[in-house]
A and B are shown apart, each in its own frame.
Chain A
């Protein structure tokens, strides 16, 4: 059990007696003992003294569970660097005196609870004085049970002026009513009336007023109902004793109800705190960035404690990054000076605030260490009580963990990005080196074979020379494509836009493609009303050649339809084939460089043609995409802007563009 004291002790920061004698902390078994523990650690560190945690076990006082809990607290104290002692004694003061004198303590830290019973206050003072006297040590008491919200405080003088007449009037009314009942049914009607009155007073104004009122009732009764001054008749004695007994009973009931109320309020407060911590945890779990975490944390703290709060994270060049940004936020000591003070004491265990520039600072720490600081400016005249600090610290722990989680999240994300870009680079490198090396290997092989001393048959010789020619062409084409794409994507090529006839550009592309591959089954459908289109003729010709070649290689004998039409602000071109088509999952990726359809066993291109188309259309400010051709095959679509400005990025739905969508 924790001893209680009503003594007014000097504040903790007063200079202690100058010696290296240890500090004795009297530990109880209840949850509030944690506060004593923290005070003990703090004082021991501030004063540079050893400290002893003592539990006094008084026979038949504590249950087995409570003893168990007390041992847990002692273990915790041991972890925090205390020497521990378990003392058996017939009373707490005896036990403390015994332990204290053994260790020559200079300072005793004890918990203080509200006094119990009418003589509790006196008992506490006596115990305290005994300890002080026997040990010659200073005794510091720490309030353990804070007053829950809603508990009545002492009324002011002004309030008293209202309350006392009200009580007097009430008692007067009771007396009149009791006198009437006494006349009608005799004495048994009197005590219930006064009991009701006293009960009402206790309920309305508190226990402090019900006790004097009870005395008042007895005086009133004596004055109104007794036939003569002392000594009474026997029956009058009986009556006044019965009334007194009733009033004592009322007092006891009032006391019990009061305590019940008090405990209910304390429970509600605990429940509210748990709920707050849970709600904050839930809100923090949704945050994806440190900024969001800071925002949520600060909003909650400001709402709960009516304080101003900021989250400080160490920034570049020995400065703090203050979240959320506030122009009028008070400045803080620089990280290089300030952080060591936090790491000097193990702040993760204790969460004791540091003070600087009129602000309080609490470390926000996750599992891995400090994540930053929480800066707190308390309004004047609104200091945080100990209870609020407790809750505040719990919330700060949540904030620290959330910040740490977010940091890990960002690190994991970055690592994933790095790995992805590394993988992409390797894939590109692999594709380029494979595509360059294969024709080169064939050329080198053929050349060395031709140079072997055993001459090859003439037919083989011719074939090898033809192969060398073909492969050199392939290599040259690949290198050209690669250079084109690199120039296009690096922005080195600008589209030299001129107003062109689409017919002319398409015609030129067709001519070149047919010169290479012979007559192609291509049907061109361009309306005569088609306007001139601003484009780079040479580049767009390359786009059509690539698209036609693509259709030819994947759907060699299928008819291809090339159509175009005008839409508000843009011209749409469509090249549709009846080949095997492209699965929907590859509709985006076909425009990636070196992308080839999986299991494409044909000795096709290097996967650069469509990438080049994409890059060219892109520098025209247009869009290119592929969709399924209704009825089978693939349908490539190009949208070129007519005004020369960037078109809005392509949205697959709704098509075609309506008038409202036009720029």
Chain B
């Protein structure tokens, strides 16, 4: 199997200095670009498997780079952002980014996100209809959900919501994306729908709804189905 090629678009030299050897040591092939323009050129030239994109680039807005990339490239993109502003992250995710990391972040977290992205990158062809996360088992084809082998009854809306999360298992799904897929494009502002249905899903699936293990909240951004 060929090495996974990762493109890092990041203007801070110090971060590149830590990212490159860390990823190289994990048998990834690494390319770096310090500006958005260079990054776009290298993405065209090398067609990397995963892109790590910093939102605070000096020459181009991160969102612009993302838009340009998504015109033709459908490989996983992970946003790196020093800004704590949720709006930028949500915007990037809605524009098609797959996941995000907020600086500062640890090496394990980075590697975990890259593994999830890698899995999805290969899964797109042959989708696995069955998902097993701990005691939770989800069969999308037969529309069956079991916890510890015991079947759980879900309403059609609850199932569609769980399905939408499962399709991005391990990655974050923004409020807007979930609302759009489950309730339709008119409902994108109605985050309270989500909160209510997530509440009932957690009560049905989680051993302790106040300490969720499968259905994790990403504050102000969205939700994530914990795939590990």
Q: Which residues of chain B (91-118) have a CB below 8 Å from chain A?
A: 103-108, 110-111
- Count residues of chain B with CB under 8 A from any CB of chain A: 29
Contact, CB under 8 Å: A603 / B106: no
Q: A441-B15, A442-B12, A460-B25 are in contact. Are A599 and B107 (CB under 8 A)?
A: no
* B26 CB-CB contact with A under 8 Å: yes
Mask, B10-28, CB within 8 Å of A = 1, is 0111110111011011100
Provide the residues of chain A in CB contact with B108, threshold 8 Å: 448, 452
Q: Which residues of chain A (416-430) have a CB below 8 Å from chain B?
A: 430
Q: A441-B82, A464-B17 are in contact. Are A449 and B22 (CB under 8 A)?
A: yes
Provide the residues of chain A in CB contact with B25, threshold 8 Å: 449, 452, 454, 456-457, 460
Chain A's nearest CB lies how many Å from the CB of B34?
A: 8
Contact, CB under 8 Å: B18 / A467: yes
* B56 CB-CB contact with A under 8 Å: yes
Provide the residues of chain A in CB contact with B34, threshold 8 Å: 601
Contact, CB under 8 Å: A464 / B14: no
Contact, CB under 8 Å: A599 / B56: no
* A274 CB-CB contact with B under 8 Å: no
Q: A433-B84, A438-B82, A460-B25 are in contact. Are A452 and B14 (CB under 8 A)?
A: no
Contact, CB under 8 Å: A449 / B107: yes
* A283 CB-CB contact with B under 8 Å: no
Provide the residues of chain B in CB contact with A601, threshold 8 Å: 11, 34-35, 58-59
Mask, A455-477, CB within 8 Å of B = 1, is 01100100110010011000000
Query: In the docked arrangement, what's the CA distance between A464 and B17, Å?
Result: 7
Contact, CB under 8 Å: A460 / B84: no
Contact, CB under 8 Å: B18 / A446: yes
Chain B residue at smallest Cβ distance from A452: B107
Query: In the docked arrangement, what's the CA distance between A601 and B38, Å?
Result: 13
Contact, CB under 8 Å: B22 / A442: no
Chain A's nearest CB lies how many Å from the CB of B155?
A: 42
Contact, CB under 8 Å: B14 / A434: no
Contact, CB under 8 Å: A445 / B19: yes
Provide the residues of chain A in CB contact with B107, threshold 8 Å: 445, 448-449, 451-452
Query: In the docked arrangement, what's the CA distance between A467 and B14, Å?
Result: 7
Contact, CB under 8 Å: A442 / B35: no
* B83 CB-CB contact with A under 8 Å: yes
Q: Which residues of chain A (464-523) have a CB below 8 Å from chain B?
A: 464, 467, 470-471
* A413 CB-CB contact with B under 8 Å: no
Q: Which residues of chain B (1-53) have a CB below 8 Å from chain A?
A: 11-15, 17-19, 21-22, 24-26, 34-35
A-B contact pairs, 14 of them (CB 8 A): A433-B82, A434-B82, A437-B104, A438-B12, A441-B104, A446-B17, A449-B22, A451-B107, A452-B22, A456-B21, A460-B24, A464-B17, A601-B58, A601-B59
**Known contacts A437-B103, A452-B107; 16 further A-B pairs (Cβ under 8 A):** A441-B15, A442-B17, A444-B105, A445-B15, A445-B19, A446-B18, A449-B21, A449-B25, A452-B108, A454-B25, A456-B21, A456-B22, A457-B21, A464-B21, A601-B34, A601-B58
